[in-house]
Amino acid sequence: MKVAALYSGLFRWYEGWEENHRKITAFCDEVHYTTWKGKPAPRDKICVRFPEPAIKYAPMHIPEITKRWPRMKKHLFNPAQMWLTKQIIAHQCACNLINADDYDVVIRMRYDVWLGNHDWKSFIDKVAEEKVVISFGGWNNKMDKDKTICEELIVPNEENGGSKMEGQILDFLNMHPGYKMKNAIKLHNERKLAPANLGWQQVLGDPYPETPINYGGGVMLTRYRQKALHHIPGGF
């Protein structure tokens, strides 16, 4: 089994981030660091910088997107939609860099998440064996700001509000078979790529028969634990 961890997006420095992330990277054959050109990068790392794409369309104004995800109409004028496709493009660039098809499991890592104490190796093994996408995050602000949420693994359902994640993929951390990360740049160029959870579903979910698995928690945004250097808040 060949496993790669790929960091992408904006680098934000947090005390202890690298040690915390070893809960996953210790099981990886390779760890690669990327960010956008002209942006800060982690010290003492070989970090590849990609040209930052210009987003010249408003994803929430695409009729196909609001038809498929009607509740997203409330975000029609949310400025975050203009940059939340970039996380998907950034990971696609990183996957292209290493030829992700050669890897059984690719793990999309964010610099700004904090990992809980879980059997991360079991998730990696499940992705490799079952060819399934497993993702972690939250589906409301209360979860995002909960300082203990990273120690929980919550299965989405009607009772906890997670049922609204059906047909979406959480975006704090993603594990997937390497071959599944395709078409993000193509969708972007065609002005069809949706932002955040919706776009991950388009790329990692829709083309494949295996149903993606979401867990609430597992990780959390580190900014709710400590202040970061270089951080611009925003999002849905």
Please state the domain extents for the chain: 3-224
Mean pLDDT of all residues in 209-236? 78
Please give the pLDDT value at position 169: 98
In degrees, rounded to 5, the angle at the alpha carbon of residue 234 between the alpha carbons of residues 233 and 236 is: 145
State the average pLDDT over residues 158-182: 96
More confident residue, 71 or 123: 123
Q: What is the pLDDT of residue 180?
A: 98
Spatial contact of 51 and 22, defined as CB atoms under 8 Å apart: no
Q: What is d(CA 234, CA 232) in angstroms, rounded to the nearest whole number?
A: 7
Q: What is the mean pLDDT of residues 88-95?
A: 98
**∠94-96-102 over CA atoms, to 5°?**
105
Mean pLDDT of 21-35: 98
Q: Please say whether the beta carbons of 11 and 17 come within 8 A.
A: no
User: Shortest CA distance to 198 belongs to which of 62, 65, 94?
Assistant: 65
Whose tokens are 């690669």? That residue is 32
What pLDDT is attached to residue 227? Answer: 67
Judge: domain 3-224, CATH 3.30.70: no
Q: How much is the average pLDDT of 18-44? A: 96
Residues 150 and 223: their CA atoms lie apart, in Å, by 13
The enclosing H or E element of 219 equals strand 219-221
Average pLDDT, the chain: 93
Quick one: pLDDT band at residue 177, thresholds 50, 70, 90? very high
Query: In whole angstroms, what is the distance from residue 41 CA to residue 108 CA?
Result: 17
* Cα dist from 51 to 9, 36, 54, 86, whole Å: 11, 6, 9, 11
Local confidence band at 187 (pLDDT 50, 70, 90 cut-offs): very high
Task: Provide the pLDDT for residue 225.
Answer: 84
Residue 229: band (very low, low, confident or very high) from pLDDT cuts 50, 70, 90 = low
Question: In the predicted model, is pLDDT for residue 213 greater than 60?
Answer: yes
Query: Would the pLDDT of 235 be above 90?
Result: no
The span from the CA of 159 to the CA of 165, in Å, is: 13
Nearest to 188, CA basis, from 51, 8, 53, 9: 53
- The stretch 19-30 carries a mean pLDDT of 98
pLDDT recorded at residue 123? 98
pLDDT digits (tens, 9 = 90+) for 124-147: 999 999 999 999 999 998 998 899
Beta bridge partners, 113, equal 221
Q: How far apart are CA 77 and CA 34, in angstroms?
A: 30
Is the predicted pLDDT of residue 208 greater than 70, yes or no? yes
Cα–Cα nearest to 110, from 169, 168, 175: 175
Q: Is 126 helix (H, G, I), strand (E, B) or coil?
A: helix
pLDDT computed for residue 81 by the predictor:
85
In terms of Cα–Cα distance, which of 135, 128, 218, 212 is closest to 167?
Answer: 212
pLDDT of residue 156: 97
Residue spans of beta strands (DSSP E) within 74-184: 105-110, 113-115, 134-137, 153-154, 173-176
Q: Is the pLDDT of residue 160 over 60?
A: yes
